[in-house]
Amino acid sequence: MVAWTWRFEKADGTEVQPAVQPEDFTTQGDAESWLGEHYKALLEGGVDQVRLFEDNTEIYGPMSLHTDES
């Protein structure tokens, strides 16, 4: 079974533990929906950016969780 997972990082790429523990996702859409629901809590917990992996393959990232709100 394919597992989709997030890696949580500071702005410099250092891995950090997320404030909200993710589950194992079976689809990319499920992983992205989860991130959409929890990104504010992740930001508040010190996560600046994320990378999405399919098993051990990086699909995309780093993707900043910071919005461009001024």
- Alpha carbons within 13 A on the beta-carbon side of 26: 1
Against a cut of 0.95, is the pTM above it? no
Token pair of 34 as six digits? 């989860």
Evaluate whether residue 21 is within a structural domain: yes
Domain that holds residue 47: 4-56
Q: Is the pLDDT of residue 69 over 70?
A: no
Evaluate whether residue 68 is within a structural domain: no
pLDDT (tens digit per residue) in 25-62:
999 999 999 999 999 999 999 999 999 999 999 999 99
Evaluate whether residue 12 is within a structural domain: yes
Query: Mean pLDDT, to the nearest integer, of 13-24?
Result: 93
With contact defined as beta carbons under 8 Å apart, do 65 and 49 qualify? yes
Total tally of structural domains belonging to the chain: 1
Evaluate whether residue 70 is within a structural domain: no
Q: What is the pLDDT of residue 1?
A: 79
User: Given pLDDT bands bounded at 50, 70 and 90, which one contains residue 70?
Assistant: very low
Evaluate whether residue 61 is within a structural domain: no
